[in-house]
Chain A
Amino acid sequence: MFGLLQQLGPKLAGAGIALGTVYHPPSQHHYVSLFTDVVMVLLILAFVLTAFRDIARLGSGLSRAWAIGRVTIAEAWNARMWAVPLVWFAVCVLLGVLIVRGYEPSGVVRVYMTIFLRAQALILLVYLGILACVTLPRERERHTLVTTGSKPISRLELLLGKVIGLSAAGAIMLLIMMILTWGYMNVLDLKIRHDAQVLYAMQKNSYDKVQRRMPPDTGVKYLSRHGMLQAQNFVSGNLSIAGYVNYLTNPPSRLLKGGSSEILYFEFPSLPATEYYRPMFNFEFGVVHALPSTKPVTIDVTLVQRSNPMNTQEATLTLNAQGQVFWMPKNPTAFFSYGNPQTGQIYNPGPVVVKVTCPNFGVYLDIGNGLRPPNETSCMAVSLDTNRTPHHSGMVAPRANPVITGFKNNGKQEIVGPSIRHPQIKPEVASWDFPKVDQQQIPIGPHGNFTVHMVISVDKQSNEARAPVAQIVAYNTSTPRDRTVQSVYVNEKRITTIKLPSTLLEAGDLIINLRSEVPGHWFKVKDNSMIIMQPPSSFVWNLFKSEAIILCEIVLIISIGVTASTALGWPVAMLTAMVAYILGNLFHFVQSLFQSGGLELFDYVQDNRMKHVWYYQIGSFLTNVMVHILWVTVHLMPDFTRYDPLYFIVRSKDMPFEIVFLDIIWTLVCILPTLAIGYLLLRKQELA
């Protein structure tokens, strides 16, 4: 029996942790996730056990709950609910008019959408949060619960009715606000289009009369025809590799360029914490010399804990003749197990990243896919406890196809163009992988081509007078030898369009490689520098999805408010809901503080001379306890930061439906334990 428990225990714990990721993102402190899960499961279990009769009656009970909801809406209406959208609209328009002066059309739309949607969320959260906290206490004070409670209605229906009613009130207000937003933005868009028409006519007139050398701007023409209110859909590729790639080999031969700004990232998975342990890393690369051999070849290695970027270890290693080197980090802090000497507790610190750069100019390090057999490995962590890594015989393998990035600047990666002094060294290649493009809805032109939009910045190290030219190599992974090669002039910081044959969309992934053709010209690119446009979606539908995200947030705060007011007076209930909202918004902040050691400053300090002083120890202990309580409390709160109605709409992008769907599901998952608390508090409460 005990043996069975020993076997099942870790599996059950693992299942619990996995479940916890539904409620919150996975945390390195799995015991907190587990604790959260246990609390939630116990709450829901207690709810089901005590409310099973009420739940069974919910079939007919929902209509009674809706009756309560209707009265709650009437109450909100009586509390001048109708004035809220009008006040919101007046304030937003006034703010917008004051702020948007000097912005270009896209900026105007972005500012207005930000103001409108942020203000909607803020006003409704406050207004409906207050109503949620006062609705039950007010019924108690006015004794209307006495009459209602004498009717065949259960406490669950009462609770649900309040939440449904206030949520419906919120939905009504959001609908009114959405209509006002849509109307105002359309008026604004009419003005933008009119201005663009006038500007385009002026440019064209000037060009026709040879007063202006530049032809009229096609962007202005597009704006005058289509306006700014769009929800663009496009397929963007994964810019996963920026190094030289030869896809003709299997696995594709991938090279890290020495003496460049390229960085190779190996990511090792997290391991279960069982023993305090130090890893040893084995690097083995195929060394390719493009210039007369540079020996010895060195690599700069940095070891980083992904969850705690402050915990790093650096070294410069020299490869032997076979391109191999072993390395054991000297810092006593291990990277695959993390031990607290005070408590003896072993933690799993999460994934580990190994960053590799090669400082030797003219050297390429062949990494393949990073997962060769152990003897030919690019990077392996070796000699680990075999109990934890049974599938690799004591070795931890990194994820396949490690990422290579160029120098990162403002979120963009820089690829180096051809060298003037060393023309035999190949320029770096930016490669976009568009997975399964044939399944996407991509418009094909009359000549059997599709259009790729490219926006890149050019960094001219030399040859400033020459126009930047990019070489585009596009092929499908199912037919890698059937390539389309084009040289195109690059419109710096503007859209450059490329026409590619639709045959590239068939079967496998579409790969588009980009490199500079002009010596001394470097390109700055990012993931969506290369996109394939799809037909746009309706703006109003996109706006509706943003409003749905706001509604989810409002429904959650309403359920918290109503639950708090079941047992508390309205002022304390308001305070509770406010604290829950603030803590829910602080989740990622507290998590990062907790993981970076910001709140553990008073935790064990190895060399602190005060650590043996009794009052220091007590203070340290109490601080540690409080920090853990804060961490657990924050973990128990729903994560409000996930609600982001703005990200897509202000960028004129169509919000994927999956985001709305996931937010709705997540909101329901959070509401269930909240209402369970409310029901358990209200169940035996006296209504008179």
Chain B
Amino acid sequence: MVADSQAIQTRQLSKVYPGFFKSQQVPALTELNLRVDQGQIFGLLGPNGSGKTTTIKLLLGLINPTSGDALVMGQPAGDQETRRRIGYLPEESYLYRFLNARQTLDFYARLFNMNRAQRRRAVDYYLDFVGLDPSVRGRRIGTYSKGQTRRVALAQALLNNPDLIIMDEPTSGLDPVGMLEIKNMIMRLKEAGKTVLLSSHQLADVEDVCDRLVILYRGRIELEGALRDLLEKKDVFQLSARNVSEALQAKLTQIAEQEGAVEILTGRARVRLEDLFKELVARKRSGEPR
């Protein structure tokens, strides 16, 4: 029995991709025990072939487990009614190339049995939400750039206002501004009480937004825990200040040595390139001169 507070729970979940001979069988996931609480942003990390996408497909019921089971929102994975509460952004934007953005979202909205007025409202709202340029909304998706396609894919994942959003490489194909928007959006989702399962290679993304994470390696969990606990160095103290003179630096270093501190590092602070880029774009957008 899964607790109400848990959005996802897997028990000994395993998946072996079959082959004609036993030697051709590929174990993609081995006895995965995962627990994601509601309202959390949960990171799923790991190198290529570690089983991240397989885990997501198992949770959606797109593939069948070899053994073990998974519960999503308290129901077995793949349950049709439960999928009403789930939004899924696949690794690549698997959309119909011959439909335009509106038709695409209208199609997915129909799968949620929305009526005409609901569909129209939802399509317009989420196309605005993901920031798709209105001038391209009537064009076929086959003519879109990768970033535009990704925005439509993101919109279809949010279309049903889901309680659980599963995102596989959400920032793939987006420019840094788009990445930032996605991260902001994920934070907004968290504020709205949604649960997000995030699989990504962009470690910075995960670091910025996730509450908890697991790191998978060859289908097994190698590391699991709250992000703050995992990244915090308990025995290291960091001080940051402006207008610090050379004399004051020397004095602080001296005090630290006197108090028994070791491996003391001092120097000028650096901003991350991502922050610099974001600041620049934000200034340009607000019309501020260089």
Contact = CB atoms under 8 A, between A and B. Distances in A.
A143 interface: yes
A148 interface: yes
A142 interface: yes
Interface string A381-402: 0000000000000000000000
A63 B113 contact: yes
A64 B111 CA distance: 5
A57 B94 contact: no
Given A148-B111, A150-B86, A153-B111, A74 B60 contact: no
B107 A70 contact: yes
A7 interface: no
A152 B111 contact: yes
B112 A74 contact: no
Contacts of B80: 57, 152-154
B83 interface: yes
B88 A150 contact: yes
Given A151-B111, A154-B80, A74 B98 contact: yes
Contacts of B95: 144, 147
Contact of A152 (B57, B83, B94, B107): B83
Interface string B52-72: 000001001111100000000
Interface in A29-71: 57, 60, 63-64, 66-67, 70-71
A71 B107 contact: yes
Given A143-B94, A152-B83, A64 B110 contact: yes
A75 B62 contact: no
B81 interface: yes
Nearest to B108: A151
Interface string A111-150: 0000000000000000000000000000000111011111
A187 interface: no
B62 A688 contact: yes
A684 interface: yes
Interface in A513-529: none
Contacts of B92: 143
A78 interface: yes
B46 interface: no
B96 A75 contact: yes
B109 to A, nearest CB: 9
B182 to A, nearest CB: 18
Contact of B90 (A67, A143, A686): A143
A152 B90 contact: no
A70 B107 CA distance: 8
Interface in B103-137: 103, 107-108, 110-113
Q: How big is the A interface, by class?
A: 20 to 34
A687 B113 CA distance: 22
Interface string A248-268: 000000000000000000000
B69 to A, nearest CB: 15
A75 B84 CA distance: 26
B94 A144 contact: yes
Q: How big is the B interface, by class?
A: 20 to 34
Interface string A156-168: 0000000000000
A686 B112 CA distance: 22
A60 B114 CA distance: 11
Contact of A688 (B63, B83, B107, B108): B63
B156 interface: yes
Contact of A67 (B63, B98, B107): B107
B99 interface: yes
A146 B107 contact: no
B107 A147 contact: no
Nearest to B84: A152
A686 B62 contact: yes
Interface string B149-166: 000010010000000000
Contact of A74 (B81, B86, B103, B113): B103
A294 B108 CA distance: 90
Nearest to A688: B62
Contacts of A57: 80
Interface in B197-253: none
Contacts of B83: 150-152
Nearest to B140: A78
Given A143-B90, A147-B90, A686-B62, A78 B156 contact: no
> Could you say which of A63, A147, A153 has the most chain B C-beta atoms within 10 Å of its C-beta?
A147
Contact of A686 (B63, B107, B113): B63
A74 B96 contact: yes
Contacts of A688: 57, 62-63
Nearest to B85: A152
Interface in B18-64: 57, 60-64
Contacts of B64: 684, 686
Interface in A326-383: none
Contacts of A148: 111
Contacts of A143: 90, 92, 94
B10 to A, nearest CB: 17
A64 B94 CA distance: 19
Contact of A687 (B62, B88, B99, B103): B62
Contacts of A146: 57, 62, 90, 94
B268 to A, nearest CB: 48
A144 B81 CA distance: 21
A152 B97 CA distance: 22
B62 A150 contact: yes
Nearest to A70: B107
Contacts of A75: 96, 98
Nearest to B103: A74
A151 B112 contact: yes
A57 B92 CA distance: 31
B103 A67 contact: no
A142 B94 contact: yes
B250 to A, nearest CB: 60
A309 to B, nearest CB: 53
Contacts of A78: 98
B199 to A, nearest CB: 14
A67 B88 CA distance: 19
Interface in B161-201: none
B24 to A, nearest CB: 17
B113 to A, nearest CB: 5
Given A147-B88, A147-B90, A152 B81 contact: yes
Interface string A677-688: 000000010111
A169 to B, nearest CB: 14
A3 to B, nearest CB: 48
> Could you say which of A60, A152, A684, A687 has the most chain B C-beta atoms within 10 Å of its C-beta?
A152
Given A64-B110, A143-B94, A147-B94, 20 more contacts: A63-B110, A64-B111, A71-B99, A74-B98, A74-B99, A142-B94, A142-B97, A144-B94, A146-B90, A146-B94, A147-B88, A147-B95, A147-B108, A149-B61, A150-B86, A151-B111, A151-B112, A152-B84, A154-B80, A687-B62
20 contacts: A60-B113, A63-B110, A63-B113, A64-B110, A67-B110, A67-B111, A70-B110, A71-B99, A74-B98, A142-B94, A146-B57, A146-B62, A146-B90, A147-B88, A147-B94, A148-B111, A150-B86, A151-B83, A152-B81, A153-B80
Interface of A: 57, 60, 63-64, 66-67, 70-71, 74-75, 78, 142-144, 146-154, 684, 686-688
- For the complex of A and B, 5 pairs with smallest distance between CB atoms: A67-B110, A78-B98, A150-B88, A688-B62, A143-B94
